């Protein structure tokens, strides 16, 4: 069996998160050897302090959760996050531009962020529950064309989270040329394994500890 822990971005993105809760999250990530913690930019330096010297990476969110920030603001947020110690950037697309099918804007926004932070891993959150199938496909292909490393299904703050069919659709459309992060509502070991089988190569979840306890 795959190393389950290395698939997990151990996540705490609730708006009431405190520094102590972030420290606990990072301590859990160290204990279970999760791939990363996924946190708000405000907490990057706190996470770095706890994770210093470990292999656990720091992921943060950009333009979260609505994706409607100005493009230059997203790029600035990404650059400052990297300067603070973030390794991976989970960026929310401008969903309005996706709904308008303005694919040139969508690609330019992603590529601008990728170019500004070339050493980072970039995950593009498409908020799949808001999109038609054609929009999911074109948003995913835009992320691929713009140089992102992952498409991420969801913020976890919209009407629904990860859906198996969306992972399968993204995998088929991109022909396996980009990673897929499934996030939102993945709470059990069976959930995780099912999404991985469907094509996800990373799992965003706030239930990582419970999943690992279930595994053992």
pLDDT tens-digit readout, 4-26: 999 999 999 999 999 999 999 99
* The two structure tokens encoding residue 38: 């996924």
Cβ–Cβ < 8 Å for 11, 204: yes
Q: What is the pTM of this model?
A: 0.97
Report the number of secondary-structure helices (H) and strands (E) in the chain: 9, 8
User: In terms of residues, how long is the chain?
Assistant: 216
Q: Report the pLDDT value the prediction gives residue 2, as an integer from 0 to 100.
A: 64
pLDDT tens-digit readout, 21-72: 999 999 999 999 999 999 999 999 999 999 999 999 999 999 999 999 999 9
Q: Report the pLDDT value the prediction gives residue 118, as an integer from 0 to 100.
A: 98
**Count of CA atoms in the C-beta half-sphere (13 A) of 86:** 28
Cβ–Cβ < 8 Å for 60, 39: yes
Q: Report the pLDDT value the prediction gives residue 73, as an integer from 0 to 100.
A: 98
Evaluated on CA atoms 190, 193, 198, 201, the torsion sign reads: positive
Q: Which superfamily does CATH assign the domain made up of 60-202+209-215 to?
A: Aldolase class I (3.20.20.70)
β-strand partners of 203 = 8, 182
pLDDT tens-digit readout, 149-207: 999 999 999 999 999 999 999 999 999 999 999 999 999 999 999 999 999 999 999 99
Q: Report the pLDDT value the prediction gives residue 1, as an integer from 0 to 100.
A: 44
* Domain residue spans of the chain: 60-202+209-215
How many Cβ atoms from other residues are within 10 Å of residue 40's Cβ?
16
Q: How many angstroms separate the Cα of 145 from the Cα of each of 15, 84, 104, 106?
A: 32, 28, 11, 10
Q: Which residues are designated catalytic?
A: 90, 152, 181
Q: Report the pLDDT value the prediction gives residue 15, as an integer from 0 to 100.
A: 97
pLDDT tens-digit readout, 100-139: 999 999 999 999 999 999 999 999 999 999 999 999 999 9
CA 22, CA 121: separation in Å to the nearest integer? 21
Scanning the structure block, which residue is given the tokens 């659709």?
169
Cβ–Cβ < 8 Å for 164, 171: no
């Amino acid at each position: 069996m795959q190393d389950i822990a290395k698939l997990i971005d151990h996540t705490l993105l609730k708006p009431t998160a405190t520094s102590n809760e972030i420290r606990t999250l990072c301590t859990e990530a160290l204990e279970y050897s999760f791939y990363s913690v996924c946190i708000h930019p405000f907490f990057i330096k706190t996470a770095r302090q706890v994770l210093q010297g470990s292999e656990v990476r720091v992921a943060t969110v950009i333009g979260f959760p609505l994706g409607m920030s100005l493009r230059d603001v997203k790029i600035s947020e990404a650059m400052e996050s990297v300067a603070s110690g973030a390794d991976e950037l989970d960026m929310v697309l401008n969903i309005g531009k996706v709904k308008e099918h303005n694919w040139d804007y969508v690609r330019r926004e992603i590529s601008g962020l990728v170019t500004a932070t070339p050493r980072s891993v970039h995950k593009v959150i498409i908020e799949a529950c808001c999109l038609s199938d054609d929009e999911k496909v074109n948003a995913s292909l835009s992320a691929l064309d713009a140089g992102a490393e992952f498409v991420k299904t969801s913020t976890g703050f919209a009407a629904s989270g990860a859906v198996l069919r969306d992972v399968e659709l993204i995998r088929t459309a991109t022909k396996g040329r980009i990673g897929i992060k499934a996030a939102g509502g993945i709470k059990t070991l069976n959930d995780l394994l099912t999404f991985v089988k469907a094509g996800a190569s990373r799992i965003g979840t706030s239930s990582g500890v419970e999943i690992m306890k279930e595994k053992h």
